[in-house]
């Protein structure tokens, strides 16, 4: 049973943010070839096949050093992500944030990373339903008020290409290549694993989300 939580849903939209069940999380990290067909707003979609890294451990550490002084800023107003090392901006991406449910604002940390994750939710009656297997390069974030298990995350997106305009139920939709770059840049570090959970010894990268998502 998936229990859906309503958080700061915009007054002109009515879909809750998806929450992963424990069973869904345990199946994460590996591309599921038995389930590649999904649905997005009433249209069939086929999942992106995530390539298996040849040297997962090396990729996970590439460019990370110890993760010190890294942070991600999400500018809802301009639908952009900025990645910083200290005061230097090292990456910038165009994204799509919440349309049918609000992307929360505040300060968070990356808490759980997985290479592939089933996501589902929305409403068939409102034509906001989605069932999306194998969502790639997912990074769940949270804080003391909004735990990462609420389902808010950065992730790659194979079901639309309307980046720069709000398109999500609260997550931060990214182009797949951009999501992969961010995934391997942030902490917690993956080592030789396909999933990683932040710990005191392997903390997650801070995330600051600000601005106002434009109506679309």
Instruction: Judge if the upstream peptide bond of residue 11 is cis by omega within 30 degrees of 0.
Output: no
Amino acid 17: pLDDT: 56
Angstrom distance (rounded) from CA 133 to CA 94: 23
The pair of structure tokens assigned to 126 is: 């409102």
Query: In the block, which residue shows the tokens 């002109």?
Result: 12
Cβ–Cβ contacts within 10 Å for residue 127, how many?
A: 11
pLDDT of residue 53: 59
Predicted local confidence at residue 49, as pLDDT: 83
pLDDT of residue 12: 33
Report yes or no: 142 and 110 within 8 Å, Cβ to Cβ: no
What's the pLDDT score for residue 20? 64
Beta strand extents in the chain (DSSP E only): 37-40, 43-46, 70-75, 80-85, 88-96, 106-121, 130-142, 153-156, 172-174, 195-197, 206-210
C-alpha distances (whole Å) from 148 to each of 19, 123, 141 are: 9, 22, 5
CA distance 118 to 35: 10
Instruction: Supply the pLDDT for residue 193.
Output: 82
Which segments of 4-78 does DSSP mark as H helices, in order?
22-26, 56-61
Q: What is the pLDDT of residue 21?
A: 65
Q: 215 near 126, Cβ under 8 Å?
A: no
How far apart CA 114 and CA 20 sit, in angstroms, is 12
Tens of pLDDT, residue by residue, the chain (216 residues): 233 333 333 333 334 556 666 665 656 677 788 888 999 988 999 998 887 654 444 444 444 445 669 999 999 999 999 999 999 999 999 999 999 889 999 999 999 999 999 998 888 888 889 999 999 999 999 999 999 989 999 999 999 999 999 999 999 999 999 999 999 999 999 887 888 999 999 999 999 999 999 986
Distance CA 178, CA 203 (A): 22
Q: Which two tokens stand for residue 160?
A: 């639309």
At residue 204, the pLDDT reads 97
């Amino acid at each position: 049973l998936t229990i859906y939580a309503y958080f700061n849903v915009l007054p002109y939209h009515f879909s809750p943010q998806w929450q992963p069940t424990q069973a869904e999380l345990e199946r994460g990290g590996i591309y599921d070839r038995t389930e590649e067909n999904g649905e997005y707003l009433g249209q069939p979609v086929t999942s992106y096949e995530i390539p298996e890294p040849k040297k997962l451990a090396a990729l996970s550490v590439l460019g990370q050093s110890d993760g010190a002084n890294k942070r991600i800023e999400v500018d809802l107003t301009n639908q952009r992500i900025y990645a910083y090392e200290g005061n230097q901006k090292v990456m910038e991406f165009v994204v799509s944030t919440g349309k049918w449910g609000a992307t929360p604002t505040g300060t968070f940390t990356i808490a759980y990373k997985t290479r592939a994750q089933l996501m589902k939710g929305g409403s068939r009656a409102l034509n906001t339903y989605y069932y999306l297997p194998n969502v790639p390069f997912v990074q769940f974030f949270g804080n003391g008020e909004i735990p990462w298990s609420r389902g808010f995350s950065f992730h790659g997106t194979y079901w639309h290409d309307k980046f720069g305009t709000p398109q999500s139920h609260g997550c931060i939709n990214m182009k797949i290549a951009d999501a992969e770059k961010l995934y391997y840049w942030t902490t917690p570090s993956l080592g030789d694993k396909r999933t990683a959970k932040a710990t005191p010894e392997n903390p997650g990268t801070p995330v600051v989300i600000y601005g106002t998502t434009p109506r679309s």
